[in-house]
Amino acid sequence: MLEQIINWFPEWARPFIMPMLTIAIVLQVNLGVCSYLILLERKLSAWMQDRIGPNRVGPWGLLQPLADMLKLLMKEDVIPGHVNKFLYVLAPGISVFTTMLAFAVVPFGPVPSNLSATDGQFPYIIAPGIDLGMVFIFAVGSLAVYGIILGGWASNNKYSALGAMRASAQVVSYEIPLGMSVIGLALLTGSMSIEKILLHQANAGIWGWNIWFQPLACVIFFAAAMAEAQRLPFDLSECEQELVGGWHTEYSGMKWALFFLGEYTHVITISFLTSILFFGGWHFPGIAESDSNYLGSTLVKMLVLMTKSFAFIVVIQMLRWTIPRFRFDQLMGLAWKVLIPLATLNVVCVMIVKQFHLNVWWLLPMSALLCLGAGLIGTQAKRPFLRRATPPVDKPHGHHAPAHAH
């Protein structure tokens, strides 16, 4: 049916129809899902804190997102007098644009293997066949921080500037473990393409999911990705108790909402990526195997992937009220002293297994051992690697020092 519709169009326009349709669907679904995820987050927060949560607009508060949207749209568009106008308006746009762009290479269903732009198959991905996959996402993700730092600097406000500084240091640090954690997957699969990593797991069955071989990488990826998205417990840059609102202190109305649209899109992308890279994507034993071809199997596969991603979104929202916010030095320490060495050792383990042609299952005890070792080092009273912060002692300086020692 889609093919006939495509054939109505002139020759030159045909390759653009399916991508345009996909982009339109993804954009609309994303906007709708984001607004209801915010309602879910508010309800979950209320439930975890023994409150009722929004329940006045519509049955069980289900129309609350519409009311919020109306309020944000009707609000006066305030641009304070002391800001750098161009960058102030540009920053929310960059934030939304980059996070949406990252979603372009994330498959949200079973991508057909013989895909061409004009034969009317729905591609289930905006940009199919990108060999770089993960590298593209990291490249676009590293641009996302420009939205925050420009917004913070252009606001001409000390709280905003402090939030932006924190965000930039945080994102630059957490990019490293994020990238390192998927190198193992690339080595195991032989490709950086997200579609290929998914297919590799789907063909291998449930015991071929990457979570069995790379559990440590999964945890590192998830933590680093949450830090990139500035979600609690890593939301140092908007830390309400210290910085009023952080980098978005001076923003209101729709511009403020755009920042949070960007953040939620980032959360959705992370959830999709985690379920695709480590939990087999649309594969589920019994109902969605790679050779299941019954009527509606495509829909089931898509629903499986959506369910997995939804589960991760809920986990991210529950983590918000489970782990308190880090202190800034703890945050940087976590990235540089824990995640980066662990990710490096994890890559070394994969390299050993690949080089000596060992069974892939050796990676499971290796990951457990690494995790255990890190835990042991972290909990020991006398830490060999992490020196405790001791208050600076007023030592006498210069040549008097040896005399005092005796």
Partner 1 sequence: MEWTEENGLLLIPLGLGWLAVWLLMPSERKRPRILGGLAGLAAILIMQMMLLPPAGDLVRNALFFLFAAGSVISAALMITDRNPVYSALWFALVTLSVCGLFLLNSAPFLAAATIIVYAGAIIVTFLFVIMLAQQSGTIGNYDQQPLQPAMASLGAFILLGALLFTLQEWGHIGGPDASQHAMPGQFITVPVELQPNPLSQHPPDNPHEIGSLRVLGRSLFGDYLFAVELAGTVLLIATIGAIAIAPRRSQGTL
Q: Exposure pattern of 302-334 as b/e (b: 16+ CB <10 Å)?
A: bbbbbebbbebbeebbebbeeeebbeeeebbeb
Q: Per rule CB under 8 A, is residue 171 in the interface with partner 1?
A: yes
Nearer to partner 1, 145 or 227 (CB): 145
d(CA 9, CA 65): 38
d(CA 144, CA 96): 8
Q: DSSP letter for 246, please.
A: G
On whether the CB atoms of residues 215 and 364 are closer than 8 A, the answer is: yes
**Contacting partner 1 (CB under 8 A), which of 139, 351, 352, 369?**
139
On whether the CB atoms of residues 154 and 84 are closer than 8 A, the answer is: yes
- What's the first-to-final CA gap in the chain, in angstroms? 93
Q: Per rule CB under 8 A, is residue 368 in the interface with partner 1?
A: no
- Least separation in angstroms between CB 312 and partner 1: 24
Rg of the chain's alpha carbons, rounded to an integer? 24
**Contacting partner 1 (CB under 8 A), which of 392, 402, 404, 405?**
392
Nearer to partner 1, 61 or 133 (CB): 133
Q: Per rule CB under 8 A, is residue 2 in the interface with partner 1?
A: no
Nearer to partner 1, 171 or 316 (CB): 171
- Least separation in angstroms between CB 387 and partner 1: 5
Environment class of 114 (CB within 10 Å of its CB; exposed 0-12, middle 13-18, buried 19+)? exposed
The token duo for 52 is 């009722």
Nearer to partner 1, 39 or 350 (CB): 350
Environment class of 356 (CB within 10 Å of its CB; exposed 0-12, middle 13-18, buried 19+)? exposed
Nearer to partner 1, 161 or 257 (CB): 161
Q: Per rule CB under 8 A, is residue 351 in the interface with partner 1?
A: no
- Least separation in angstroms between CB 234 and partner 1: 17
Distance of CA 253 to the CA centre of its chain: 25
**Contacting partner 1 (CB under 8 A), which of 161, 227, 239, 270?**
161
Binders of partner 1: how many residues, by CB under 8 A?
29
- Least separation in angstroms between CB 130 and partner 1: 8
Q: Per rule CB under 8 A, is residue 153 in the interface with partner 1?
A: yes
Q: Per rule CB under 8 A, is residue 379 in the interface with partner 1?
A: no
**Contacting partner 1 (CB under 8 A), which of 45, 118, 142, 252?**
142
Q: Per rule CB under 8 A, is residue 384 in the interface with partner 1?
A: no
d(CA 257, CA 92): 9
Nearer to partner 1, 12 or 356 (CB): 12
Position 52: which residue type? I
What percent helix, strand, coil does the chain show, rounded to 5? Answer: 70, 0, 30
Task: Kindly identify the residues of this chain, within the stretch 178-207, that bind partner 1 according to CB under 8 A.
Answer: 179, 191-192
What is the DSSP track for 320-381? HTTSPPPPHHHHHHIIIIIIHHHHHHHHHHHHHHHHTT--GGGHHHHHHHHHHHHHHHHH-S
- Least separation in angstroms between CB 276 and partner 1: 19
Q: How many CB atoms lie within 10 A of CB 27?
A: 14
**Contacting partner 1 (CB under 8 A), which of 57, 117, 135, 300?**
135
Q: Per rule CB under 8 A, is residue 165 in the interface with partner 1?
A: yes
- Least separation in angstroms between CB 263 and partner 1: 18
**Contacting partner 1 (CB under 8 A), which of 136, 251, 256, 278?**
136
Q: Per rule CB under 8 A, is residue 131 in the interface with partner 1?
A: yes
Q: Per rule CB under 8 A, is residue 146 in the interface with partner 1?
A: yes
d(CA 93, CA 259): 8
Residues that bind partner 1 (CB under 8 A): 130-132, 135-136, 138-140, 142-143, 145-146, 149-150, 153, 161, 165, 168-169, 171-172, 175, 179, 191-192, 387, 389-390, 392
